[in-house]
Amino acid sequence: MSGHIAILGVFVADTAYRADRAPNMGETILGNSFALGPGGKGSNQAVAAARAGGETHMITKLGRDTFADLAFSTWKDAGVIPAVTQHDDGYTGAAYIFVEEATGNNAIIVCPGVAMSISPADVEAHHNLIASASVFVTQLEQPIDAAMRALEIAKAGGATTILNTAPAADLPKDIFPLCDYVTPNESEAEGVTGIPVTDVASAKKAATALLDLGVGAALITLGENGSLLGRQDAMTHIPAFNAGPVVETTGAGDAFNGGFAVALSEGKSPEEAARFGSATAAISVTRPGTAPSMPARSEIDALLAI
């Protein structure tokens, strides 16, 4: 019997503008297209976990506005259970994403809004939900002191703790022993360890450095090269799955983390859980968007069965 998953993180509304070029200061140009969609690493991971079959609770702060409505509708569709406070004195996060039509290159401005005020006291308000979780997940889009306090509560309660070290940030040394797993990608692993990660061999070096910092295990995602699970007794390379042509990779890391958390909550081994996360990510990249690309459990099981 699996227990619940608690995720502390941020929701932002992604506003994506495509145009031939960026406007100069003081200039107005016509764009080619616009899209509005749900984003934020914590929210994307919660959607991935819920669609993969986990009882998933999302802990965050929102404003009382149209983008908050988008958050709630996104979570309702996916089956995420919100553990959310709403605030009149702040706004729900948003991201401006400019995409250059010819190249696909982008420039992004993220304003996390009221979620940037998530504090250790806010985390304490959800103490029981975090302490009783089977698996707890957080990232670095909300303040680090809040993530630290949540990891402490989860660890003390017996939850399996996952820190997705994204986006890259300077971390206090005492955060690492609170983490049963850290799940950076190549650049984030380099940001923490100083070791450039370009292949499986260099990932093993970075994983060793992370273990030396006190984490229980390092799970480094390597894009099309799969992932590396590094533990004190073994280094295991998990190949990537091919679920079809790649359309968009933006949500791959969040899909992986959500799927990984679900598998751990069901008692699967770390290696099995990493394979489950890989399959979740492989399906997500065949579709556009982040949260909308997350696969259903039946799709993940079918890919794993091939």
Give the active site residues. 254
Integer Cα distance of 185 and 191 in angstroms: 10
Asked if the bond preceding 167 is cis, omega within 30° of 0, the reply is yes
Integer Cα distance of 112 and 118 in angstroms: 11
Query: How far from each other are the two terminal CA atoms of the chain, in whole angstroms?
Result: 25
Structure tokens at 48: 């991935």
Strands 160-163 and 12-19: unpaired
- The residue among 235, 233, 165 whose CA lies nearest residue 200 is 235
Strand partners, 106: 99
Sign of the CA dihedral running 170, 232, 224, 77: negative
Q: Judging by beta carbons within 10 Å of its beta carbon (0-12, 13-18, 19+), is residue 218 exposed, middle or buried?
A: buried
Integer Cα distance of 60 and 84 in angstroms: 5
Strand partners, 38: 13
